[in-house]
Amino acid sequence: MQRFVLRFTGQGAPPAADLERISAASGVSVIDATPRMVLVEASGAAGGRLADALAGWICVPEHGVSLPEPRPRPVKSPESKPKPPGRSGSSRAVRGDRRGGRSKPGGER
């Protein structure tokens, strides 16, 4: 069984008789419907016959699209060398209090 999208190409809303004919067709099961489209599950032959029998309708096979990874992860390059242990990567020593200044004895500034 395949899934097909039946789309009404005529003016206005599709005729109610066409919608009833789609749901009553043998070998066809309706999965979902919108005002101008119907998603059905049917054999390839049944889907083609249904579209040919209804004026103003086209039938196309359903196609899925895979979505990309929403948050790609960084990949380590094989050329990157590990840093030697014990080095923080910064050669500048930090002195003083949190505000960045040097402290005077007794806590005064």
pLDDT at 7: 94
Q: CA-to-CA distance for 104 and 64, rounded, in angstroms?
A: 69
Q: Give pLDDT tens digits for 94-109.
A: 555 566 555 556 655 5
- How far, rounded to the nearest angstrom, does the alpha carbon of residue 58 sit from its chain's CA centroid? 26
Q: Give pLDDT tens digits for 16-63.
A: 999 999 999 888 999 999 999 999 999 878 877 888 888 899 989 998
Judge whether 23 and 40 are in contact, CB under 8 Å: no
Does pLDDT of 76 surpass 80? no
Region 66-94: mean pLDDT is: 70
Angle at 78 between CA 73 and CA 84, to 5 degrees: 100
Domain 2-61 sits in CATH at 3.30.70
pLDDT at 91: 55
Q: Return the structure tokens found at 4.
A: 């097909």
Does pLDDT of 3 surpass 90? yes
pTM tops 0.75, yes or no: no
Sheet strand arrangement including 57-61: 28-33, 37-42, 2-8, 57-61
Q: CA-to-CA distance for 40 and 42, rounded, in angstroms?
A: 6
pLDDT at 30: 94
